[in-house]
Amino acid sequence: MSKIHYISSKPLTYEIVENLVNNNYKLELSDEAVGLLTKCRDYLDNKMAEEHHAPIYGITTGFGSLCNRNISRDKITLLQKNLVMSHACSTGDELNPQIIKLILFLKAHALSLGHSGVQVITVQRILDLYNNDVLPIVYDRGSLGASGDLAPLSTFSFRC
């Protein structure tokens, strides 16, 4: 029988993370996390449905210096796809699979706090990858200096 860690808004401690890494836990979303994710996504969907809504950074606008550039509704999906593709470049040595699993766990935990607008299914897929050891190949140097998790989180190369 597998040990299960339920992702919730409970603060992470070093002991929790160490236990996950060393004791081969499976991850599942708690009811609380599903509720937080759903509430935030519903809010975003409602904002997007408003006919005359204010710009939403990175969703209906560009990023960085392009934040004042509006993105038409028919291009929003393309913007998100291009964002992921533009950050999927990295180089260097491959990270240890344990580190990659930790990255997946921490990203799932952060998203599950319900502040990003992602769908529940997106976080569930991260957990599926984690739980089934289907891990992206992640290199230790990314293409952008703004955030150390951009390349690992947009990687499309997987090892089984």
Residues annotated as catalytic (active site), given as ranges: 57
Could you give the 3-state DSSP secondary structure of residue 136? strand
- Can you point out the beta strands (E) in the chain? 4-7, 26-29, 90-94, 135-136, 139-142, 158-159
- Residue 144 pLDDT: 61
pTM beyond 0.85: the answer is: no
Residue 146 covered by a domain: yes
The structure tokens listed for 53 are 């809504």
| Dihedral, 99, 85, 34, 72 alpha carbons, nearest 10 | 160
- Residue 85 pLDDT: 77
Total domains in the fold of the chain: 1
Residue 155 covered by a domain: yes
Residue 128 covered by a domain: yes
Mean pLDDT of 134-159: 62
Residue 63 covered by a domain: no
Domain residues for 101? 13-43+88-159
Residue 137 covered by a domain: yes
- Residue 145 pLDDT: 53
What DSSP state is assigned to residue 109? H
**How far out from the chain centre does Cα 124 lie?**
10
pLDDT tens digit sequence for 48-99: 888 667 888 888 888 888 889 988 888 888 988 887 777 777 778 889 999 9
Q: What is the CATH number of the domain that holds 39?
A: 1.10.275.10
For residue 105, CA distances in Å to 16, 82, 98, 101, 136 come to 11, 24, 11, 6, 13
Residue 57 covered by a domain: no
